[in-house]
């Protein structure tokens, strides 16, 4: 799997095309966000590699894989889930090397969730309901039924923030209904996808059913893949600007896209909320994974009567967070993904400093050891900042939020829905009628009431506005990855 270096294991991430691992002429290094050491050597796929991967996926979809009985395909994906569990430690180490998140997060969430995702979609594909309609009109009697077949070649392009689970969320349903898949993980988090290719190889999927191409976006594997005329569906998760680029590329041949993009997610805390729960929940929703989850809360609106109490409580929660490397004692928050991303987050903290008041955080923690070569940043809370500030209107994607008071329910709804993004919202209230009334007025794909990050993979997920197009999750994923035909039989 890897090569050893003076500073530990370096994973070699090769491309996997048509059932074989393939070296590339060009390679690049992936650096640890914890201490800057090299953790992976990545083989960058060129246009010819991407072309071969698309053709291999097409052949698998038209051949053994697409025509395999659902029962067999479901069984093979169940085997994949078992092999992911069998290589649990390899996946954990690779995820920690790429992202630097606390070990417990990878052990308790990322790896088990990935295995579950394969089992879930393998099962759903086996029970994917079809529809029939009976048509009766004077002189006409007919029966209609719905046929579904694999869409063909699916391009699955993932970001770096939750590399394993987000890639699995695309490839598991796409494979489960018989598509050939070409996966392109983020250049910032290539390692788990590489082990995933080994798992597919070991599970014995027909050659070409799963292909992996590594690289960047523009002038690299990402853009080569989305521009390839042989791709029939593009499922993309990443930044809104990149999503717009992908959509332009897809429009050339009128290909359906599913775009899971950025967010600037609000939380509303009403005066009747359980404040301790709202503070603990908001600390989690703002700082979990160092704020690098598209579902993280970056805007918090609190009823004026509880505002001071809330800010004091959230400040204490932020200052009590243990920041550090994956195995540091009691660690709760790791680094940002890279120094480059930290520069971006720090530039937003500078805007916050100029436009508002930094209650806590605002800088880089000092460790006086190798972690100072990493990409750590302090959890940051901002108040007294105009809603027009770029810190409030743009996605920062770090452990940050601003908190502002409101006086009426109407005002809270107006503030929360003022963003052009619309991914998720959180409503904290002890009054069920109010919570549900306000939930119905949020302009987002998901609304959580008195909680956060409860994601049932069977539910349709996807944002509105700048947060994306399309729904994935449960049968919505299977709908996206299939073509549907209405067969009408005149009786
Ligand atoms: P990104 O847009 O920079 O990159 C995402 C992926 O697209 C990477 O694999 C990258 O190599 C590739 N890519 C870049 N340019 C491309 C191009 N022109 N053509 C094809 N592929 C290209 O995003 P990121 O920085 O990796 O991830 C962070 C972003 O993802 C944040 O905005 C976050 O909100 C968003 N995100 C959204 C969701 C969601 O479900 N809505 C989930 C996670 C992350």
Ligand 1 pocket test, candidate residues 99, 113, 159, most atoms within 8 A of CB: 159
Q: Give the per-residue pLDDT at 9.
A: 80
The model carries a pTM of 0.97
pLDDT tens column, 261-273? 999 999 999 999 9
Residue nearest to atom 13 of ligand 1 (CA): 217
d(CA 345, CA 237): 20
State the chain's mean pLDDT as an integer. Answer: 97
Q: Which residues contact 261 (CB under 8 A, 6 or more apart)?
A: 237, 238, 239, 240, 243, 294, 423, 463, 466, 467, 468
Residue-wise pLDDT tens digits, 239-284: 999 999 999 999 999 999 999 999 999 999 999 999 999 999 999 9
Average pLDDT over residues 436-447: 98
> How does residue 149 score in pLDDT terms, banded at 50, 70 and 90?
very high
User: What CA–CA distances, in Å, run from 348 to 160, 289, 338?
Assistant: 20, 18, 16
Query: pLDDT of 39-84, one tens digit each?
Result: 999 999 999 999 999 999 999 999 999 999 999 999 999 999 999 9
265-456 adopts what CATH topology? Aldehyde Dehydrogenase; Chain A, domain 2 (3.40.309)
Dist. CA 269 → ligand 1 center (Å): 30
The tens digit of pLDDT for each residue in 345-358 reads 999 999 999 999 99
Q: State the closest ligand 1 atom to the C-alpha of 294, by its place in the atom list counted from 1.
A: 34
Say whether 409 is catalytic: no
Which entry of 44, 260, 298, 472 is annotated as an active-site residue? 260
pLDDT band at 163 (very low <50, low <70, confident <90, very high): very high
Domain residue extents for the chain: 3-261+467-490, 265-456
Ligand 1 atom index nearest CA of 187? 11
Give dist(CA 317, CA 379) in Å, integer.
Answer: 10
Give pLDDT, residue 2.
54
Q: Whose CA is nearest to atom 17 of ligand 1?
A: 217
Catalytic entry in 44, 95, 188, 294: 294
Known catalytic residue: 294? yes
- Ligand 1-lining residues (CB < 6 angstroms): 157-161, 166, 184, 186-187, 216-218, 222-223, 226, 237-239, 242, 245-246, 260-263, 294, 395, 397, 423, 463, 467-468
Closest residue by Cα to atom 1, ligand 1, is: 238
Give me the pLDDT at residue 7, please: 54
Tokens in use for 47? 């246009």
Residues 128-154: what's their mean pLDDT? 96
Confidence of residue 1 (pLDDT cuts 50, 70, 90): low
Is 6's pLDDT higher than 70? no
Q: For residue 5, is pLDDT > 80?
A: no
Fold of 3-261+467-490: Aldehyde Dehydrogenase; Chain A, domain 1 (3.40.605)
Dist. CA 237 → ligand 1 center (Å): 5
Residues sharing a CB contact under 8 Å with residue 306, sequence separation 6 or more, in sequence order: 269, 271, 273, 275
The tokens of 452 are what? 């956060």
């Amino acid at each position: 799997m890897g090569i050893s270096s003076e500073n530990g294991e370096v994973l070699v991430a090769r491309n996997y095309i048509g059932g074989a691992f393939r070296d590339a002429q060009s390679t690049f290094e992936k650096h640890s966000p914890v201490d800057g050491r090299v953790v992976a050597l990545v083989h960058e796929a060129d246009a010819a590699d991407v072309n071969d991967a698309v053709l291999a996926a097409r052949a698998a979809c038209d051949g053994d894989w697409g025509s395999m009985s659902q029962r067999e395909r479901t069984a093979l994906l169940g085997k994949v889930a078992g092999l992911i569990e069998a290589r649990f430690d390899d996946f954990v180490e690779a995820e920690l090397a790429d992202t630097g998140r606390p070990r417990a997060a990878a052990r308790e969430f990322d790896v088990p969730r990935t295995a579950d995702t394969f089992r879930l979609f393998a099962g759903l594909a086996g029970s994917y309901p079809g529809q029939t309609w009976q048509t009766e009109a004077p002189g006409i009697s007919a029966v209609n039924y719905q046929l579904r077949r694999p869409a063909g070649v699916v391009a699955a392009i993932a970001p770096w923030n939750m590399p394993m689970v987000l890639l699995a969320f695309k490839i598991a349903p796409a494979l489960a209904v018989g598509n050939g898949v070409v996966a392109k993980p983020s250049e910032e988090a290539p390692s788990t996808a590489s082990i995933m290719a080994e798992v597919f190889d070991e599970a014995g999927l027909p050659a070409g059913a799963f292909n992996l191409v590594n690289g960047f976006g523009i002038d690299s594997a990402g853009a080569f893949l989305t521009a390839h005329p042989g791709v029939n569906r593009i499922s993309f998760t990443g930044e809104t600007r990149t999503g717009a680029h992908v959509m332009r590329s897809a429009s050339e041949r009128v290909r359906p896209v599913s775009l899971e993009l950025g967010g600037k997610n609000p939380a509303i805390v009403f005066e009747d909320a359980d404040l301790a729960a709202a503070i603990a929940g908001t600390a989690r929703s703002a700082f979990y994974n160092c704020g690098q989850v598209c579902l993280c809360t970056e805007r918090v609106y609190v009823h004026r009567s509880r505002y001071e109490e809330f800010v004091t409580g959230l400040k204490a929660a932020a200052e009590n967070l243990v920041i550090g490397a994956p195995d540091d004692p009691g660690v709760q928050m790791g680094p940002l993904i890279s120094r480059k991303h930290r520069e971006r987050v720090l530039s937003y903290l500078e805007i916050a400093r100029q436009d508002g008041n930094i209650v806590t955080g605002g800088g880089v923690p000092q460790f006086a050891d190798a972690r100072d070569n990493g990409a750590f940043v302090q959890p940051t809370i901002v108040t007294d900042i105009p809603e027009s500030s770029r810190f409030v209107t743009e996605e920062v994607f770090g452990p940050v939020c601003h908190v502002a008071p409101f006086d009426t329910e109407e005002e809270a709804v107006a503030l929360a829905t003022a963003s052009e993004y619309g991914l998720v919202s959180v409503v904290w209230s002890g009054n069920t009628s109010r919570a549900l009334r306000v939930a119905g007025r949020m302009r987002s794909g998901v609304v959580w009431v008195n909680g956060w990050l409860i994601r049932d993979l069977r539910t349709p997920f996807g944002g509105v506005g700048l947060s994306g197009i399309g729904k994935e999750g449960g049968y919505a994923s299977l709908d996206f990855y299939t073509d549907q035909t209405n067969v009408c039989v005149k009786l």
